[in-house]
Structure 1
Amino acid sequence: MAATVRSASAAVFRPVRTRNAFEETVERLLQAIRLGVAGPGERLPAERELAGRLGVSRVTLREAIRAVADAGYLESRRGRYGGTFVAETLPGPPRHDPSDVDLEDALTLRRVLETGAAETAAARSLAPAERQHLMAALTEVDGVDPASAPEYRRRDSRLHLAIAEVTAAPSLTTAVAEVRTRVNELLDAIPLLATNIEHSNAQHRAIVAAILAGDPVAARTAMDEHLEGTAALLRAFL
């Protein structure tokens, strides 16, 4: 049994591979809890050890632990026998409880549509009004208070729709709007994490910069990284 637990722990707490280190670390922590690798009341490995196993900085690990703790899955204890422990009583299921098929279907469709939209937008010669439209949408989402979840979701959606709009393909814009509605329903069922918002906004800036620079490959890559960070959190919580 002990060997099995060690094997499962190694499988879950493996090095983070993506550039979305915070989001994927949150995913790994929640995966360990949901799979019972770390059960209610059990202590997580020491910070130094866990950061090493995940291949992330201790700052990133602390931010991820704080986010998962704020969501009610972990708690910190002080003293000689202190550390980070899985909560004795875990949160109930999310308000929106999609099947794995629903979740993966929405994420796959979103990835195909939005990476294609970013690439197509960057390949076009944008008119001044289109460039201004993109920058205005980016400025709006950059300036919103992350604590206001509904407003952030609204402005975030507007930026993604603006990217689709400057492809000059109305059918693509409609498809992006439809899949974004599905994704927003999923996002509303998970916590809004401040560190993720900061990371997301930086990725937004990279996406728009690549589009405005006329670099389709960079635009597609930046959008793909951005969407994978969101997908990691959705898979973790849902």
Structure 2
Amino acid sequence: MSEHPHDGDLVEVRKAVYRPLRRGNALEDTVARLVQTIRLGVVAPGESLPPERELAASFGVSRDTVREAIRELADTGYLLPRRGRYGGTFVADPLPHPTTSGTVTPEEIDDVLGLRRVLETGAVRAAASRSLDASTRADLWARHEAALPAGPEEYRRLDTLLHLAIAEAAGIPSLVALVAENRADVNVWLDTFPLMPRNIQHSGEQHESIVTAILAGRPDAAEAAMRDHLAGSEALLRGFLV
């Protein structure tokens, strides 16, 4: 792996950062791990990341996934790809910072995201366990389809509406209010960094798995799909904010 200054102080941190990713959300986890690499100072502003092939081997993902993650972070101002003999992928100097940087604690993130996990996996399991009427079934699919072609400007709103529709389909009125309140907290954090096109596409694929499982009356599959979906955004939030 490429060497950088102050390696002696960063050996253990690098071992923690440059390790295989879990399965399920390869792109989001790669983006989050690269952001973590930057925010921990493993690669300082102005320095270059290890080559794509080394990152792919370390993370246990394809070079295409690493390349896409780098492209997304370049679009958001964290990385600067350079061509030529002395080219590579360099960390931006200065780095962009989320507006909540320094104001959100890991404990707050654990609390909000932990509650989100409980509420939304519970909601999707309850929805998949019910006999839904035709109107509810049509609304769920329509919400999913509406979010598919959405661009960064409108995606967050349409994504939120789909998640609220799932909560409504659970048939527990008070649950909708809890999900809405929690989602508002999450959206404040999500809005501190730009939406990435590949992430939107991946979320759409996961939404389809979730809605399909609900409509098929498969609670276990619906819950598993929702867990995977939430894990992707959790990885991004922790990468950018913690």
TM-score, normalisation: structure 1: 0.94
Does 2:58 align with 1:42?
no
Counterpart for residue 134 of structure 1: 140
Tell me whether 1:194 sits opposite 2:213 in the alignment: no
Which residue does 2:120 correspond to in 1? 114
Code of the aligned partner of 1:111: R
How far 1:3 sits from its partner (Å)? 4.3
2:173 aligned with 1:167, yes or no? no
Of 217, 222, 238, the match for 2:225 = 222
2:198 and 2:149 mapped to 1: Cα distance? Answer: 15
Distance 1:147 1:121 in 2: 28
Structure 1 distance, partners of 2:99, 2:239, is 12
Query: Letter of the aligned partner of 2:211 in structure 1?
Result: V
- Deviation sequence 1:158-215 (CA, Å, 0-9, x none): 1001101111100111111111111111111111011100000000000000000100
| Number of residue pairs matched by the alignment | 235
Q: Of the candidates 12, 18, 42, which is equivalent to residue 17 of structure 2? A: 12
TM-score (norm 2): 0.92
Moved more, 132-141 or 98-107: 98-107
Task: Check if 1:76 corresponds to 2:47.
Answer: no
- Cα distance between partner residues in 2 of 1:235 and 1:11: 15
What is the CA-CA distance between 1:49 and the residue it aligns to? 1.1
Name stretches of at least 5 consecutive residues in structure 2 with no aligned partner. Answer: 1-5
CA distance in 2, matches of 1:100, 1:2: 26
Structure 1: state its 5+ residue gaps.
none
| Distance of 1:66 and 1:143 partners within structure 2 | 21
Distance across 2 between alignment mates of 1:56 and 1:225: 17
RMSD of aligned residue pairs (Cα, Å): 1.4
Contact 1:31 1:236 in 2 (8 A): yes
Once residues 121 and 78 of structure 1 are traced to their aligned partners in structure 2, the CA distance between those partners, rounded to angstroms, is: 51
State the distance in 2 between where 1:211 and 1:93 align. 35
Per the alignment, in what secondary structure is the counterpart of residue 148 of structure 2?
Answer: helix
Q: Does the aligned pair in 1 maintain the 2:129–2:218 contact within 8 Å?
A: yes
The question of whether the paired residues in 2 share the 8 Å contact of 1:190 and 1:234 is answered with: no
Secondary structure of the residue aligned to 1:84 is strand
Matched, 1:184 2:191: no
Question: Are the equivalent residues in 2 in contact too, given 1:124–1:214 (CA < 8 A)?
Answer: yes
Residue 142 of structure 1: how far off its partner (Å): 1.6
Determine whether 1:33 maps to 2:33: no
| SS at 2:44 equivalent | coil
